[in-house]
């Protein structure tokens, strides 16, 4: 029970981080950037490659820098930020005034392209990720708990809190919120809206990359297609939390993680259908509350 709880919180924390990425970019651009699942993947590989002594990239052998764990994580975040910046500049910026449908289609295409690039660079099979040296399972309230799960949950909470504080209290955060509310008004107030959007993308990508790194540490692998299912679940989490809200997205992620782990552990056949549960929740929520669990109704303008 305690074990499932801690496990669910760790998985949920990862979903929550990724959900925050989706949510904050949705806030400024009004679009779902499906490609965050791939930024998640690039973050994981960035950290993996940076920490390895030798790696294979695009089929060729390279000597890796073998950086210590903390520095490798930094590299992973940087790679994520760079990928995020590139896709925003190249694919989304030309579509600033295009219909939302075009932007969504582009986002899906970017996601597919990045996955193909990931497969090309890192191969079609899973790459093993060495477990961080955190010691053996510890005993909490009589249950055996993996320390990595506690670390992941702690990191996810801290990162989300820091991100929330940044958006809430810093000048760039104010610019982000202004842009999210009204782009034109923000522009008239002298805010460089394009720069704000790029910054938001980079910040969101860092969160996504962090989620990817934690995920690869927890499950011990990285793969080109690793971002798809977590991405979809994080989207569900963002919708549950009312897309656009940072705490909402994170809590949504925790809910999905917990529901998933408890269903897998306690419902018969639950582990086979583990991945369906989150989507079942989504379908249910959108049937009952189309605006999301915590979202507000949008007012139609004439």
Chain residues binding another protein by CB under 8 A are 26, 31-32, 91, 94-95, 98-102, 104-106, 108-110, 112-113, 115-117, 119-120, 124, 224, 228-229, 232, 235-236, 239, 243, 269, 272-273, 275-276, 278-280, 282-283, 286-287, 290-292, 298-300, 302
Residue among 221 and 273 whose Cβ is closer to another protein? 273
CB of 84 to another protein, least distance (A): 16
Task: Name the minimum Å distance from CB 34 to another protein.
Answer: 8
Please say whether the beta carbons of 98 and 192 come within 8 A: no
Q: Which is nearer to another protein, 41 or 243 (CB)?
A: 243
Which residue's CB is nearer to another protein, number 5 or number 91? 91
Q: Are 227 and 38 in contact (CB under 8 A)?
A: yes
* Cα pseudo-dihedral 175, 156, 115, 73, rounded to 10: 100
Minimum distance from residue 140 beta carbon to another protein (Å): 33
Contact 138, 145 (CB under 8 A): yes
Of 23 and 199, which has the nearer Cβ to another protein? 23
Least Å distance between CB 115 and another protein? 8
String of DSSP letters for 194-244 = HHHHHHHHHHHHHHHHHHHHHHHHHHTEE-TTTTHHHHHHHHHHHHHT-TT
Q: Which is nearer to another protein, 63 or 272 (CB)?
A: 272
Beta strands in the chain (DSSP E): 54-57, 60-63, 127-128, 138-140, 143-145, 221-222
């Amino acid at each position: 029970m305690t074990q499932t709880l801690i496990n669910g919180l760790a998985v949920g924390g990862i979903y929550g981080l990724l959900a925050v990425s989706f949510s904050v970019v949705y806030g400024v651009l009004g679009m779902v950037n499906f490609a965050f699942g791939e930024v998640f993947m690039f973050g994981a590989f960035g950290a993996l490659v940076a920490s390895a002594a030798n790696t294979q990239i695009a089929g060729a052998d390279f000597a890796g820098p073998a950086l210590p764990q903390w520095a490798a994580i930094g590299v992973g975040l940087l790679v994520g930020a760079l990928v995020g910046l590139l896709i925003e500049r190249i694919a989304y910026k030309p579509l600033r005034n295009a219909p939302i449908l075009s932007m969504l289609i582009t986002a899906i295409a970017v996601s597919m392209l990045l996955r193909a690039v990931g497969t090309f660079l890192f191969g079609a099979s899973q790459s093993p990720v060495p477990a961080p040296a955190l010691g053996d399972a510890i005993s909490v309230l009589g249950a055996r708990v993996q320390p990595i799960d506690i670390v992941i949950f702690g990191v996810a909470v801290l990162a989300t809190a820091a991100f929330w504080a940044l958006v809430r209290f810093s000048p760039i955060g104010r610019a982000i919120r202004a842009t999210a509310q009204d782009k034109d008004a923000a522009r008239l107030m002298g805010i460089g809206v394009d720069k704000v959007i790029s910054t938001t993308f980079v910040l969101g990508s860092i969160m996504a990359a962090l989620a990817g790194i934690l995920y690869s540490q927890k499950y011990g692998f990285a793969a080109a297609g690793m971002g798809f299912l977590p991405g979809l679940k994080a989207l569900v989490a963002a919708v549950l939390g009312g897309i656009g809200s940072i705490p909402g997205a994170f809590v949504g992620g925790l809910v999905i993680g917990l529901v998933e782990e408890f269903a897998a552990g306690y419902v018969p056949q639950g582990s086979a259908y583990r991945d369906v549960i989150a989507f079942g929740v989504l379908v249910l929520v959108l049937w009952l509350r189309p605006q999301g669990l915590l979202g507000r109704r949008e007012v139609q303008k004439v």
